[in-house]
Homo-oligomer: A and B are copies of this chain.
Amino acid sequence: MDRINAMRAFVTVVSEGAFTRAADRLETSPQLVSKYVSQLEQHLGVRLLNRTTRKIHLTEAGTSYHQRAQQVLNDIDEMESQIGDLQTRAQGLLRISAPVSFAIRHMAPLLSEFQKAHPGVGIDLQLNDRKVDVVEEGFDVVLRIGHLKSSSLIAKRIAPVRIVMCASPAYLKQNGTPQHPEDLQGHRYLRYSYIELDSSQSLHRWLQNNGQNNSSGMTSNNGDVLVESAISGAGIALQPTFISGPAIKEGKLQVILQEYELEPMGLYAVYAHRQLLASKVRSFIDFIDGYFGDPPYWD
Contacts and interface: CB of A to CB of B under 8 A. Distances in A.
Interface of A: 1-4, 41-42, 44-47, 50-52, 55, 57, 59-61, 64-65, 68-69, 71-72, 75-76, 78-80, 82-84, 86-87, 92-93, 134-136, 138, 140, 152, 272-273, 275-278, 280
B2 A47 contact: no
Contacts of A69: 79
Contacts of A80: 44
Contact of A278 (B46, B92, B277): B46
Contacts of A4: 2-4
Contact of A60 (B1, B51, B57, B93): B93
6 contacts: A3-B4, A4-B4, A50-B138, A57-B136, A61-B92, A72-B79
Nearest to A5: B3
A1 B84 CA distance: 19
A196 B151 CA distance: 86
B50 A273 contact: yes
Contact of A83 (B2, B46, B52, B273): B46
